[in-house]
């Protein structure tokens, strides 16, 4: 009788635990946009902290105090950003001014090519109605874009706030992160502490490997794309290279999104230049995906490419771009934690 009561009590505890987990998942989904807005500066701050921690740890091992190490590294990063800004600004300004000065010619060339294309398409039965419908939808999309401008302005201010808060948050993570972890560690039952250490070590290895690896890979992609586009004479080559590096953080889909404006920009000059631009993208992406990226996605994360694509689509569906960025490393962390718990 007593045993039945204990079994029943365990079943109730397990059921309650799962119900709480399900409720938390539902609440996270319902308030996902609010949660993302709140967590965004902490996520950016955490990424910054992960990237600079080895440098701070190196200075600290040399006898420099933690606070001074953080300030030195942050100051050095600020100097590097300012130098890059001073170096890149004249080139970017020159490209933008050149682009603006050639806008009338670009517009005339684009209109001429579009008119020729439209005349050819209108000769095909049924295309005339499709073109009219396309113009109507484009007009509706433009009106919708204008109506959403106030929200976009608010989003810009929110992004600026995140940029301001992220370094401050990263400073406190670097300064007090170990103390926070130590206090959390004391809350864990002594018998589970070793397991927690193993799990935290695994998680740290996955996150560190993913963030640092992606940073270096995307720096390579941005640099070589910008250089290649500049060599063939594509306008705004530096800006397009930087855009490619940023979008490349999104595996599989990012390079495609980055290639579209580049090929369109090159196409305004000539179809041949557009083909050259596409070849540059393909070569850079082949080097990135064939040599550099596999080390991160296979060795550090241990996920099959099909699973990666599924996770990207799942993350995009529920959390947008942010979901695409975090879904893969998050799944790798969960997988590693489950493996570790199964070994107990």
pLDDT at residue number 79? 93
pLDDT at residue number 301? 72
pLDDT at residue number 243? 85
Instruction: Read off the tokens for 165.
Output: 């808060």
What are the per-10-residue average pLDDT scores of the chain (344 residues)?
55 73 80 78 84 86 87 90 81 70 68 67 62 64 59 65 84 84 78 78 78 80 89 83 83 76 78 85 81 65 74 78 78 81 71
Whole-number Å distance between alpha carbons of 339 and 317 = 27
pLDDT at residue number 75? 92
DSSP, res 67 = H
- Strand runs labelled E in the chain: none
Instruction: Read off the tokens for 31.
Output: 């308030």
Whole-number Å distance between alpha carbons of 142 and 140 = 5
DSSP reduced 3-state for 292: helix
Instruction: Read off the tokens for 52.
Output: 């600079």
Buried b (16+ CB within 10 A) or exposed e, 13-38: eeeeeeeeeeeeeeeeeeeeeeeeee
- Quick one: which H or E segment has residue 235? none
Contact criterion met (CB below 8 Å) for 340 and 195 = yes
Q: What is the pTM of this model?
A: 0.61
Whole-number Å distance between alpha carbons of 88 and 93 = 8
**Among 75, 98, 117, 58, CA closest to 238:** 98
């Amino acid at each position: 009788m007593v045993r039945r009561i204990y079994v029943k009590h365990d079943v109730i505890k397990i059921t309650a635990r799962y119900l709480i987990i399900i409720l938390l998942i539902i609440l996270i989904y319902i308030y996902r946009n609010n949660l993302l807005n709140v967590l965004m500066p902490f996520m950016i701050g955490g990424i910054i902290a992960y990237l600079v921690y080895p440098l701070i740890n190196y200075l600290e091992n040399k006898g420099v105090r933690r606070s001074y190490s953080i300030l030195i590294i942050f100051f050095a990063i600020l100097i590097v950003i300012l130098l890059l800004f001073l170096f890149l600004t004249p080139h970017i300004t020159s490209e933008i001014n050149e682009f603006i000065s050639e806008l009338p010619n670009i517009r005339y060339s684009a209109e001429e090519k579009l008119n020729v294309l439209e005349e050819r398409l209108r000769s095909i039965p049924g295309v005339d109605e499709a073109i009219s419908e396309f113009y109507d939808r484009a007009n509706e999309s433009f009106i919708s874009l204008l109506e959403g401008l106030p929200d976009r302005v608010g989003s810009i201010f929110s992004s600026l706030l995140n940029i301001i808060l992220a370094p401050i948050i990263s400073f406190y993570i670097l300064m007090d992160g170990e103390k926070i972890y130590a206090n959390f560690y004391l809350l864990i039952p002594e018998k589970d502490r070793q397991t927690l250490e193993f799990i935290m070590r695994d998680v740290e290895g996955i996150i560190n490997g993913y963030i640092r690896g992606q940073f270096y890979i995307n720096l390579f992609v941005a640099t070589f794309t910008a250089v290649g586009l500049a060599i063939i004479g594509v306008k705004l080559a530096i800006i397009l290279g930087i855009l490619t590096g940023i979008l490349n953080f999104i595996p599989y889909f990012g390079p495609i999104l980055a290639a579209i404006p580049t090929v369109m920009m090159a196409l305004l000059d000539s179809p041949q230049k557009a083909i050259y631009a596409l070849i540059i993208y393909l070569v850079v992406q082949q080097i990135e995906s064939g040599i550099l990226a596999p080390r991160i996605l296979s060795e550090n994360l241990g996920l099959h490419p099909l699973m990666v694509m599924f996770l990207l689509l799942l993350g995009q569906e529920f959390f947008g771009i942010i979901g695409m960025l975090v879904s893969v490393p998050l799944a790798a962390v969960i997988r590693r934690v489950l493996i570790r718990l199964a070994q107990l």
